[in-house]
Amino acid sequence: MIKIKSIQYIAAILSIVIMASSCLATKKYTVPEVNQNVYLFRLDSLQLTQTVVSNIKWQDFYQDEYLKKYIETALANNFDNQVALKNINIFEAHLKRSKLGQLPELNIDLNVQRQGIAKNSQFGDFFSGSITTYRLNSALTWEADIWGKINSQKLASEAAFQRSLTAQKLLQTTIVSNVANTYFKLIEADKRKEILQQTYDNRKNTYEITLALKDAGLENAVSVGQSLAQLNQIEINLEQVKNEIFTLENALLLLLGTTMEKLERSSLDEQNLNDIFEQGISLETLRNRPDVLVAELDFRNAFEQVNIATASLYPTIRLTLNAGFESIEFSKFIDPGSLVNTLIGGVTAPVFNRKRLKTQKEISEIQRDQRYIQFKKQLFNAGIEVSNVFKNYQATQANFTSTIEQEQVLETAHIAALEMFKSGVGNYLNVLLIQERLLNNQLSKATLMSQQFQSQAALYRAIGGE
């Protein structure tokens, strides 16, 4: 019988060997270093800052109460988000299993064997009939993680689990941004519908004035026809924007993952811009983006895969302890005299499959380098994306200011031209031209206003809001 102290001595010796040898095959992961000037080169100095603009929560970022309600609904019911949460459960199970990798494996086997003895067999002269054997065996197997392979497998599983968490966060950020973006497009369409309806009413009035002037002999049939055609065009535009509203509502419902008879919302004029664009962007902000973190965790997983492949080139040491009871009499089955045990120590070293293992290591190193390049690409893309959002917002804001100034001029000109037309001294073509310009200006103003809020939604996603 193997004594417990002997096992303890062997375990102590192996522990010393492990501590002395584990660093030979595997390397410790370090976070990649990046240069801020490289990845933020498209942002001017006024927008660069050492302050980390991150951890922006959508509850604080968006002020519209209807929008907040829809975001809450989407995060609870969105189909893609539900799938991502299930993926987290899968990787969490893998992680729990990998954490048990350094513990011994225990298997218990209980069986009863009945063997018939032939008269002419080897033992036929000693036994007759049959023999029943009762066995209870337990096998305790432990693999010494001398080269750090099992630990690297655990670290790789941790990286995969963290990636699943971060991927879900990335999806959540995207869902919030998409809901907000769709909502702003929807209230923009509402605003354009309101403008078109007001324009329709005004042009209907103009048409009636044209008819009256024709009856008075001050206008001709051409002016009446042009006025009517203009009125009909507004009717067409109204139907188009109504259809657009219907489509946008369906798109929002799909994001919400639910059905609603009516999508309540505020108006575009009630929205307020926050000061997010007045704050700076730092490299650390981009490093905290979920997609950048996902790329870095992919690199970390690939890094540990290299460690695993490297450790596989070295011998594997296993200890197996078999202990149990064996008896041909059931009454003496659980008895000290029926106790059997075996201790086996073994070393397995790759020989003929070494080329396969070396090739696997080379492939793992190439894949690790690929993941590092992809990480740098993702960080580079983050800087470009934030730069584009800032530039688009600035251009939209400047155009919006110009549009407001143009609207004031056109409204004044429209009132003057209409009064002259009513009195019979003005040209109807001037009224028509100014009305078209005013309508286009008002529609552009609504679009530019919406684009400013859409830029906020894009920046929220670009900096990895929560």
pLDDT value for 193: 93
Q: Locate 189 and state its tokens.
A: 């369409």
Q: Locate 424 and state its tokens.
A: 């019979």
155, 236 Cβ separation under 8 angstroms: no
Protein fold of 105-144+315-348: Outer membrane efflux proteins (OEP) (2.20.200)
Give the number of C-alpha atoms closer than 13 A to the C-alpha of residue 397, restricted to the C-beta side.
11
Rounded to whole angstroms, the Cα distance separating 165 from 402 reads 45
Rounded to whole angstroms, the Cα distance separating 304 from 364 reads 9
Rounded to whole angstroms, the Cα distance separating 211 from 219 reads 8
- Pick the closest to residue 145 from 28, 29, 20, 9 (CA basis): 20
329-349 in b/e burial notation, b at 16+ Cβ within 10 A?
A: eeeebeeeebeeeeeeeeeee
Q: Locate 184 and state its tokens.
A: 């702003």
Bridge partners for 339 per DSSP: 325
- Residue 212 confidence (pLDDT) above 70: yes
Sign of the four-CA dihedral 10, 15, 20, 23: positive
Q: What spatial distance separates the first Cα and last Cα of the chain, rounded to whole Å?
A: 61
- Residue 19 confidence (pLDDT) above 80: no
Tell me what the pLDDT averaged over the chain comes to: 77
158, 421 Cβ separation under 8 angstroms: no
| 155-159, 293-297, 341-345, 444-448: segment of lowest average pLDDT | 341-345
Q: 232-286, pLDDT tens digit by residue?
A: 988 999 999 999 999 999 999 988 888 877 889 999 889 887 776 666 566 667 7
- Residue 328 confidence (pLDDT) above 80: no
User: Judging by DSSP bridges, how do beta strands 129-144 and 105-117 pair with one another?
Assistant: antiparallel
Intervals of CATH 1.20.1600.10 along the chain:
23-102+145-314+353-462
110-129 in b/e burial notation, b at 16+ Cβ within 10 A?
A: eeeeeeeeeeeeeeeeeeee
Higher pLDDT, residue 114 or 398: 398
Q: Locate 288 and state its tokens.
A: 């905290």
pTM of the model: 0.68
Intervals of CATH 2.20.200.10 along the chain:
105-144+315-348
Residue 381 has a CB neighbour count (10 Å cut-off) of 16
- Architecture of domain 23-102+145-314+353-462 in this structure: Up-down Bundle (1.20)
Instruction: Give the DSSP H or E segment for 241.
Output: helix 221-256
CA distances from residue 48 to 39, 54, 291, 309 in whole angstroms, order as listed: 11, 14, 21, 42
